[in-house]
């Protein structure tokens, strides 16, 4: 009740003050806080800082923006903070599909329904990587080899996107993998380069340098079609030369991780609309294109019903895998 009346009051105040055209756009009244649900230097942090930079450069809002990192507990710290900030439209939370996946498998004190979805921007693709000098050339070879010996698959975090994908590969390929969780994709890539693992399922940007440096190579991409043409990564190959996993007989059509943007719960539709619009403007800038290209992500923009549908579908899917593995909490 208290909150509702505050909203009414502030809405009334805004109208009275005539600061904004009547009833239409809400505008932020104080500095905006971007909460990255990851430590400094990670993909989510990079996104938050890139968006901050673009907004500031193009003066897309009057208010200054600060980025804070709340990456503790695999991002749970940031989401819990978002939940606790209900009703505050000056906090924007940047995350991944973690927002709905994590509450399924760990007893964290939030759910994605505690937040207001704004948009999914930029999809990160997943690829199957092996060591450069591994004998197998295709995903088919890999599956055959993995069937006879127990392969070690590395990934970032436990019961998170990487492990979910690993379990899907096990099922689709009728093999058994030993999953070893590390803190980050970068760490996993180094472990593969050192020969301590047999494979991992890193995003393109997490292993780009390693591929170019000839320590590991991608076998296939978990996407319905090949990645868009871009600059060559190695002397002879670029991302578009990597076959899809389906082409190679590993039947996983699509697996990707969206970078997601949220407001705390209990904000007004006007306030949410302001940020949807803001993110759309960000996406139209050349700097955004540049960011997408440099981080080898796929440009995308899901909001409203489309975003909801995406979450529901992904949730169903993860629930199934998590259920089979016995990960579900409660």
Partner 1 sequence: MDNLQELLHGFTIAVTVPHLVLMVVGVLLGILVGVLPGLGAPNGVSLLLPLTFGMQPVSAIILLSSMYWGALFGGSVTSILFNIPGEPSSVATTFDGYPMARDGRPTTALATAFGSAAFGALVGVILITFLASWVAQVALAFGPPEYFAVYFLAFASFVGMGGAAPIKTVVALAIGFAIAAIGIDTVSGSVRLTMGVDELVKGVSFVVAVMGLFGIGELLVAVEEEFHARAVSSKIDWREVFRAVGRLPRHGVALLRSAAIGCWMGITPGGPTAASFMSYGIARRFSRRGRYFGTGEVEGIISPETADHAAGTSALLPMLSLGIPGSATAAVMMGGLMIWGLNPGPMLFVDQKDFVWGLIASMYVGNIVAVALVLLTVPVFAALMRIPFVVIAPLIVIICVVGAYSVSNSYLDVVMMLGFGIVGYLFKKLFYPLAPLVLAIVIGDKAEDAFRQSMLMSKGSLGIFFANKLVTCLIVAGIALLLLPLALQLARLWRKPASPATDTTSQEKVII
**Number of residues near partner 1 (by CB under 8 A):** 59
125 touches partner 1 by CB under 8 A: no
When binding is defined by CB under 8 A, the residue of 76, 93, 168, 227 that contacts partner 1 is 76
Half-sphere exposure of 115 (CA within 13 A, CB side): 30
225 touches partner 1 by CB under 8 A: no
Q: Which is nearer to partner 1, 290 or 308 (CB)?
A: 290
Do 263 and 153 meet the contact criterion of CB atoms below 8 Å apart?
no
108 touches partner 1 by CB under 8 A: yes
Residue with structure tokens 């690993």? 166
Q: How far is the CB of 151 from partner 1 (least distance, A)?
A: 11
298 touches partner 1 by CB under 8 A: no
328 touches partner 1 by CB under 8 A: no
3-state secondary structure 8-74: HHHHHHHHHHCCCCCCCCCCCCCCEEEEECCCCCCHHHHHHHHHHHHHHHHCCCCCCEEEEECCCHH
Q: What are phi and psi of 22, to 5 degrees?
A: -50, 130
256 touches partner 1 by CB under 8 A: no
The whole-angstrom separation of Cα 278 and Cα 282 is 6
Tell me the window of 3-11, 12-20, 102-110, 298-306 that interacts with partner 1 (CB under 8 A): 102-110
44 touches partner 1 by CB under 8 A: no
Q: How far is the CB of 134 from partner 1 (least distance, A)?
A: 16
295 touches partner 1 by CB under 8 A: yes
90 touches partner 1 by CB under 8 A: no
Do 305 and 148 meet the contact criterion of CB atoms below 8 Å apart?
no
Spatial CA neighbour of 256 closest among 308, 204, 211, 214:
204
Q: Provide the token pair at 229.
A: 């043409």
80 touches partner 1 by CB under 8 A: yes
The whole-angstrom separation of Cα 68 and Cα 29 is 19
Tell me the window of 190-198, 238-246, 271-279, 313-321 that interacts with partner 1 (CB under 8 A): 190-198
Name the residues that contact partner 1, by CB under 8 A.
Answer: 39-42, 45-46, 49-50, 52-53, 56, 67-70, 72-74, 76-77, 80, 105-109, 152, 157-160, 163, 178-183, 186-187, 189-191, 193-196, 205, 208-210, 212-215, 291, 294-295, 327
């Amino acid at each position: 009740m208290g909150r509702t009346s505050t909203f009414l009051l502030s809405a009334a105040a805004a109208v009275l003050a005539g600061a904004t055209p009547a009833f239409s756009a809400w505008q932020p009244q104080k500095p905006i806080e971007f909460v990255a649900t990851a430590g400094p230097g990670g993909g989510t942090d990079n996104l938050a800082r890139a968006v901050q930079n673009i907004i500031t450069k193009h003066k897309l809002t009057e208010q200054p923006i600060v980025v804070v990192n709340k990456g503790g507990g695999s991002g749970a710290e940031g989401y819990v903070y978002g939940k606790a900030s209900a009703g505050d439209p000056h906090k924007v939370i940047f995350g991944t599909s973690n927002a709905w996946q994590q509450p399924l498998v760990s007893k964290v004190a939030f759910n994605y329904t505690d937040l207001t979805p704004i948009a999914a921007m930029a999809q990160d693709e997943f690829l199957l990587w092996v060591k450069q000098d591994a004998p197998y050339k295709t995903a088919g070879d890999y599956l055959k080899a993995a069937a006879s010996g127990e392969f070690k698959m590395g990934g970032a975090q436990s019961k998170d996107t990487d492990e979910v994908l690993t379990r899907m590969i096990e099922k689709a390929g009728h093999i058994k993998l030993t999953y070893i969780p590390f803190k980050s994709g970068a760490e996993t890539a180094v472990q593969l380069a050192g020969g301590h693992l047999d494979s991992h399922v890193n995003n393109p940007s997490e292993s780009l340098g390693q591929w170019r440096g000839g320590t590991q190579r991608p076998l296939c991409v978990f996407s319905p079609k090949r990645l868009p043409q871009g600059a060559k990564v190695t002397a002879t190959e670029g991302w578009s030369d990597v076959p899809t996993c389906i082409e190679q007989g590993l039947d996983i059509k699509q697996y990707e991780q969206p970078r997601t943007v949220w407001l705390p719960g209990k904000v007004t539709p006007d306030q949410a609309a302001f940020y949807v619009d803001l993110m759309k403007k960000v996406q139209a800038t050349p700097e955004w294109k540049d960011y997408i290209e440099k981080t080898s992500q796929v440009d995308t923009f899901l909001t409203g019903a489309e975003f909801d549908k995406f979450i529901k579908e992904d949730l169903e899917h993860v629930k199934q895998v998590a259920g089979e593995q016995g990960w579900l909490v409660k």
